[in-house]
Amino acid sequence: MKYLGIDHGNKRIGIAISDELGLLARPLKIIEHVSRQEDAFSVSKIAEELACEVIIVGLPLDSDGQIGPRARTVNRFIDELSELTIIPVISWDETNSTMKTIHASLLRGEKAKKRREAMDDQAAAVILQDYLDNSKPQPTGEPCEKAS
């Protein structure tokens, strides 16, 4: 199952995609914010063209885990997107996704100039990977029964 991940910002929207098995996320692209309706249309078109079966949108909760002004804006985007596509749209807590993206950049040894470039697609990949890692049933370690 292929997933599309979204990091919705005020200026840009980062987009990431998973592999066919829904195990690994990678950055795909960044689109510039135009309007809620046009942004939702662009995202729905990308998801449909790439045959994604689920869209994951990062929800920026406040520091106390509540829905604040930024999350309300993203929820309105999610509502608009849900109206435009039959693909299920799921919100996912994006807490610390930007910090994780910067940390990964530091681990890769990227210079400060590189880190100042738009990393919205990388943040979308962090959000999507977090969803992929935490939303699927984990193996129990119990042996499978043999077929007779």
Boundaries of every domain in the chain: 31-135
Fold category of 31-135 in CATH: Nucleotidyltransferase; domain 5 (3.30.420)
pLDDT in tens, 48-70: 999 999 999 999 988 788 898 99
Structure-block tokens of residue 6: 């979204």
pTM for the predicted model, two decimal places: 0.81
Q: With 80 as the cut, is the pLDDT of residue 137 above it?
A: no
Length of the chain as a residue count: 148
Supply the pLDDT for residue 95. 77
Q: In the structure, what pLDDT confidence band is assigned to residue 111 with cuts at 50, 70 and 90?
A: low
The pLDDT, as a whole number, for residue 144 is 47
Q: Is 145 exposed, middle or buried (0-12, 13-18, 19+ CB in 10 A)?
A: exposed
Are the C-beta atoms of residues 121 and 30 closer than 8 Å to each other?
A: yes
Backbone angles phi, psi at 73, to 5 degrees: -60, -45
What is the structure's pLDDT at 64?
Answer: 81
Stretch 25-49: mean pLDDT, rounded?
97
Residue 145 pLDDT > 90: no
Ranges 36-40, 83-87, 107-111, 118-122: which has the least confidence: 107-111
Amino acid code (one letter) for 11: K
State residue 148's pLDDT score: 42
Q: How would you classify the pairing of strands 3-8 and 54-59? A: parallel
Phi, psi of 61 (to 5 degrees): -75, 155
Token couple for 116:
């100042």
